[in-house]
Amino acid sequence: MGIEDNKNGANSKKANPGKATILALGKGFPHQLVMQEFLVDGYFRDTNCDDPELKQKLTRLCKTTTVKTRYVVMSEEILNKYPELAIEGQPTVTQRLDICNEAVTEMAIEASQACIANWGRPITDITHLVYVSSSEARLPGGDIYLAKGIGLKPETNRVMLYFSGCSGGVAGLRVAKDIAENNPGSRVLLATSETTIIGFKPPSPNRPYDLVGVALFGDGAGAMIIGTDPNPNTERPLFELHTAIQHFLPNTEKIIDGRLTEEGISFKLDRALPQIIEDNIEGFCSKLMENIGLTNKDYNKIFWAVHPGGPAILNRLEKRLDLSPDKLIASRRALADYGNASSNTIVYVMEYMMEENKKMNKETKNDDEWGLILAFGPGVTFEGILARNLIR
């Protein structure tokens, strides 16, 4: 599944020489689409659980997440083949990885092929691959299987980012930017792919956070092509990547705590996370915005492509920065349609942001020429890129 051919951006503004640009986007999904309104009954049926208290809690959570639909790899066929996945205490990491390793490769191939089709140049022109996932573990890694699956050249230079969580997509974009700007003429494929099967578990009163994950997270893949000095005859740049920074907050390692155990990945998310992000977001954004002379008075003069970790994070960010409601429409749409799909979600947000710009049919002006691409992950780690919209 890919976005509309990016060559419709015939009125693209010119990118600055030597600056990395996003040249195409693409996405991929498993076949199973889950409607949020049917999730609770299906989950409790599949896990043979009849605890009314837990069921009531999940019902409440499903309403508060604002998610409406999600794609998932998990299916009745998988549970029939691996019934132990729905039994608490069973050591199932081997079975999970067998499923996840194959699933993330299939989705990454679909997203990458869609992205390359939107890009319009031959796959042989790709020189580098950055592969991001928190849903697999194997040697060789998923980068090799993706490269083989889409037919990349054997001399393609590869980088893997594993277990970066929700910040992985923007972290991968930062790495791709550095590669592109330091290798003139290169074309970098960034691919992300995630599935929740790695952490699927039956409901338990001993693991209350598991229900948050059930109500919030989704599966899928995303892809981008990044390069400098676009060829005006064959490429149409979407966004210029001006400045990228990363910042981790000391002594917050336990705020997002994930561990790979015999029963798959187990997560603990501290309730303080939205407040921590709110308390630190202005300083982080200022470091990016000051590069082009913008201040905190200019928040509503830029676009915002924010990874939607959950509605509480978006709400707090919107309130703290006094953003007008239209600034986070793309993030809220991505959350509603795909859930929090971890590293992939930033691709969906950026796609929706392009749609919203086109729908509003704005006149060309400087107010939304610049913007921020943001994500927050384990650490607590802030990833941010100051970007320039080239397709207004």
The residues assigned a catalytic role are 166
Would you give the DSSP letter of residue 124?
A: G
Token pair recorded at residue 207: 């693991």
CA-to-CA separations, 52 to 9, 163, 213, in angstroms, rounded:
53, 34, 19
Contact at 8 Å (CB) between 307 and 375? yes
What is the spatial distance between Cα 108 and Cα 42, in angstroms, rounded to a whole number?
27
Q: What is residue 215's three-state secondary structure? A: helix
Question: Which of 40, 63, 65 has the alpha carbon at shortest distance from 50?
Answer: 40
Would you give the DSSP letter of residue 294?
A: -
Stated as kind and residue range, the H or E segment containing 170 is: helix 168-182
Question: Which of 271, 370, 281, 369 has the alpha carbon at shortest distance from 318?
Answer: 281
Q: What is residue 42's three-state secondary structure? A: helix
Residue 371 bridge partners (DSSP): 303, 387
Stated as kind and residue range, the H or E segment containing 208 is: none
Token pair recorded at residue 102: 């194959």
Stated as kind and residue range, the H or E segment containing 187 is: strand 187-194
What is the spatial distance between Cα 369 and Cα 158, in angstroms, rounded to a whole number?
32
Question: Which of 102, 287, 292, 294 has the alpha carbon at shortest distance from 198?
Answer: 102
Torsion angle of alpha carbons 61, 311, 313, 222, nearest 10°? Answer: 110
What is the spatial distance between Cα 280 and Cα 278, in angstroms, rounded to a whole number?
6
Token pair recorded at residue 99: 């499923």
